[in-house]
Structure 1
Amino acid sequence: MVPSPMLFTSKDASATPETYERNLSMQDGRPADAEMARVLGTTPIRMVLDSSGAGIAHWKHDPLHGVVEPMTHHVIMSYNCAVQRMERRSGKSVVTGTFRPGVVTIIPEGSSSRWDIPKPVDVVQLYLPHASLMRVADEADIATQVNLLERTAQPDPVTSRLLLSAADCLVGNEALDTLFRQQLIDLLSTRLLAAHTGVPAAIQPVKGGLAPKILHRSIERLRSDSDVDVSLTALASDAGLSRFHFCRAFKESTGLSPHAWLRQHRLEQATDMLRNTDASIMSIATTLGYASQTAFAAAFRKLTGETPSDWRQRMR
């Protein structure tokens, strides 16, 4: 099984900034989650960290006037807040920018800068280890030097939309959450390689779908009601492909990403149980792997526009 991600919310009393401190020397830099907790002086609304070292965090923080010290991750940020001007100082370089939806900011690993942000900020951040970026570059057959550029409020609506969608990436179902997060991080990495490395990266086109036997085996794994690992890493390994190529080939074969396919399958299971059984909503939620009845109801309503109980009543 893939280790469960760590989730912190504003209601978690134990999630103080000190929670994120790690025993790393300042020469190496802090992990991004630790450094952001330190400099922002608060806790994230939501944060998910996984075994690869990558993470996604949603913060709402007060005005900031301080130095972001070197980190062991690339940090990519997108904004969902009121338009405001800000200033970023790196050595003798001073850059002003405007925070607004549709722009991104990139802090490459190991860099340091002073920030002066006069108003509160609502921001979603991706914490990306350089090794993860290199893996995607290798899997995508990108022959270019991988050095992310420093960006300050750079217009990039594609990356911005992708990253903002991560703020709502958890639905309380471990299998779905893991697949969504892994696919999103790989997709964001691909976009960063193409748009923010200084040299335009040519992504190799899809060469075809999965072989029928491999597709069947992948779908059976996704359909399994047992405790089988359905992470993108496990699916790709079982198919003998990289994560990048597996995800593209699966979508070529089915028209859906692995996450979208599993989400659709879970919805079909849910509607079948609601229509043809008298099982309680709680029981259905548990059977389908949701953490709670509330999480299941929210996910169901997002896909159908109705609560499970309203849908059941209408269909009977």
Structure 2
Amino acid sequence: MVVGHRANELYPVLDGLGVQTIVNLNFSEGMFSSVTAGVESLSPAVQGFFLLPVDNPIVNRETLDKLQDKFFTTQFGIIYPSYQGTRGHPPLISCHYVNKVMTWNKPGGMRALLEQYEQDALEVEVDDPGILLDMDTPEDYLQMLKYCGDTRIPSEEECYAIINNAKTNVRVFNHCKQVAQLSSAMGSYLIRAGSHLNLDLIRAAALLHDLAKGEPRHAEVGAQMLLNYPEVAVIVAEHMDIYLNLADQSVTEKEIVYLADKLVIDDQIISLQARCSGLLEQYKSNQEVFGKIKQRLSNAERIQAKIEKIIKIPLHDIWNVDLGGQG
């Protein structure tokens, strides 16, 4: 960590974190003087370094790991993280560039220097919008506080990036979008009826519930892929088999996504009976599978009954009115 201006105020905080501090006595000369101070302090054994400005504090650990993996498995000397095609921070830079940094004296600082070596640069796509977030104004600071809140939920844009990077096929993607539409509609009706629900959480979990479709135990695998979003991961983990508290007549986000998934085949909304009747007939000679289908149907019917009791209309009316008459 390179410090300069008001360094004495930072030492107590940094000491508690156990990080090495480098003092830039020439901080008045601008940001590049801090870059050179940090680079000059590197041990000869170091092969590369991340360059992270202080106003870009929110980067996932997984992003750093992904850049490091590329650094050691490719021949490129500059590895940039990219979110939806836009480069962000921090680049991972080979120590082959140390001498170039220390002798650079042209305008434009580090950005201008790195632009001279674009042929040695590689972009790595990451599921991390934090690489693009900086903090230059009080408004930026408030936005970062919101981003780092205790209930971190990916935006719809982030969900699509996660789905794209997971190489989810189009059929599954269309199914997830329909489940998200139906889940959001049910959630909206429940909120208007007085339920306390998080629509952002419902939509994100519905969009991502089949992220690992095709993998054995795909619900658990998908949840593991979403550990950066623990509330979403919990819902994804139980979208196939859910535990219901039969004494609780309220409806949770998890129950809404579970039911919506059972009401959608591919991208078409159907009734629970239509969804399960064929499966029950198909597996009637396999008691284990037959029992699981029966339990899933029973859970879905209980959730549907709770929702209809609260909103005082049949769910069929929701998808007829709000979702274009499907079902």
With normalisation by structure 1, the TM-score equals 0.27
| Max Rg structure | 2
Higher RCO (C-alpha 8 Å, min separation 6): 1
Structure that is richer in helix per residue: 2
TM-score by length of 2: 0.26
Question: More strand per residue: 1 or 2?
Answer: 1
